Structure 1
């Protein structure tokens, strides 16, 4: 078994200050490895990077069309959003269209990441609700499918028809039986897979086209929705949103907690998955930038790329203090 390899380094004063190692795989549409670093067989929890896989049954089943979901709602079903007014308003309207409410969600509440919304709540002496949860769009999608299936309300339970459908789709598209599951921050099961399996799934999404099977058409719609509405997938200032904009809607990308990142490249029919083993998101963002630049879909000098890779690090006085860059031999 290969070990994780150095991927991202931080240099200060001419000395290596920090280093981040990980695993990464680029797959083609056949599921074959194009390039790999570290151990392709390393088993990981994909966390929120697999939300497009969790949304497959929503579209494939016909539930999305039965409830008239828009493309921006499909993007929101794959989101880890900021909890900005853009996101909370969309989730609130979605729930209302289902004749449901915030109380029907099972994701839990947390303070919104969006500063404007956070400050609004503080001024109003109001508490955040489940709609502010970064996964509330995914859960609105879960509720849509649950209603379509006429299933029970505890849709995050492992034996619920919705989660059984998610697991089946997940295993079929990754090409692997999941060795187990954990409970995600939003209370939904998160099925483990290898880095290779996750990259294989992303390559399958990249090759999926409208007019194929119901599952292929669903994958193509979800990929297009993410790339077309990057602001719904994350939010202003976030890597997913800024990098998808930088690539002009040609690529869909998604981060996950604990430094997982994936990319879907439809023009090249390639999929990427990477995991930084120490869980540092600054490293996963830099690493995905490096791979996207390597594959020619992201310009190295674009401000969204420079923000995360290669630009000088500066302190609060604007003094250059160091640099975050790719480790030699990676990307």
Structure 2
């Protein structure tokens, strides 16, 4: 058994000034480990990288079909969005269609990450609402399942039918009983699993077939929605959106807080899970881009690839002073 291994280095001139350690697993169609760095059995909190798992009950229970949800809705259910107008307008319309409002959310409010939306709120003197929360699409999905099942309003409680369904789906697809959970930034339970478990779950999504059974159909619809609407999954100038657009084949990418990342690569039946030990987003973005290049799903010379992998560091005068680069073992 090993621990985190060197994955990304930050150079300045001839010196590697900072180093980021991490761990990653690539699983094949049967959930078997194809490649691994570090300890595949390391316990992790996948944070927002598990939103596809959390969205499975939305489709599996029939809630998505009952409420006429489109691929755009499903992409938002898997999103950590910027709070731009394209996100909040759709979320608010979704809530209205359910006969619900912002007060029915339990995710909390924060300022949008989108610069235009942020500026508009500041200039208007208005406060952000819960629809601006980057997880509001996921919570709209929770509310849809709640309404479909006729369950109570406190949909984040662990004994609520929504959360029971999410835990069951998580344990079944990771192949592991979760030993516990933490509370995410949006107040939803986030279940502990392993890197291998998350990669195994992503490989299930990658091999899911439309119409095979309820779960495979749900998984296929979710990743297809993400690939079709990368702008809704994150937003402009975000790595998830830019790298999904840049890939040479369909790839669903999802970041999570504290430098977690997953990838679903359906054409190859592969699932990827990655965690940078120190929680540095810059390293997670570099490492996931490097693995996509390694797997042949991303051209190393694409501008989006160069933005995150072997990206130049430029100072205030525009001089290149260093580089963010993956360790050779990743490439």
The verdict on a shared fold, with TM-score over 0.5 as the criterion, is: yes
- Name the CA distance, whole Å, in 1 between partners of 2:13 and 2:243: 29
4+ aligned runs moved over 4 Å, structure 1? none
Seen in structure 2, the aligned counterparts of structure 1 residues 27 and 76 have a Cα distance that, compared at 3 Å, is: same
Query: Contact 1:258 / 1:276 at 8 angstroms: preserved in 2?
Result: yes
| TM-score of the superposed pair, with normalisation by structure 2 | 0.99
Residue of structure 2 in register with 1:24 after alignment: 24
1:56-108 Cα deviation digits (max 9, x unpaired): 01101111000000011000000000000000000000000000000000000
79-88 or 310-319: bigger deviation = 310-319
Corresponding residue number in structure 2 for 1:148: 148
Q: Which residue of 2 aligns with 1:292?
A: 292
Alignment partner, residue 311 of structure 2:
311
2-structure distance, mates of 1:107, 1:36: 34
CA RMSD of superposed structures (Å): 0.8
Output the CA distance in 1 between the equivalents of 2:312 and 2:52.
34
1:235-293, CA deviations, whole angstroms, 9 ceiling, x for partnerless residues? 00000000001115611010000000000000000000000010000000000000000
Unaligned runs of 5+ in 2: none
How far off is 1:33 after superposition? 0.3
1:320-331 correspondence to structure 2 within 5 Å: 320-331=320-331
What is residue 39 of structure 1 aligned with on the other side?
39
Report the Cα distance in structure 2 between the residues aligned to 1:30 and 1:85, rounded to whole angstroms: 40
Kindly indicate whether the alpha-carbon contact (under 8 Å) linking 2:314 and 2:321 is maintained by their aligned counterparts in 1. Answer: yes
Q: CA shift at 1:328, angstroms?
A: 3.2
Aligned 8 A contact 2:230 2:244 in 1: yes
Query: How big is the shift at 1:130?
Result: 0.4
Equivalenced residue count is 331
- TM score, norm. by length of structure 1: 0.99
C-alpha distance in structure 1 between counterparts of 2:183 and 2:192, whole Å = 11
Q: Give the structure 2 partner of residue 204 of structure 1.
A: 204
- The answer (yes or no) to whether the contact 1:312–1:320 under 8 Å persists in 2 is yes
Deviation at 1:329, TM superposition (A): 2.0
Task: Check the 8 A contact 2:263/2:272 in 1, yes or no.
Answer: yes
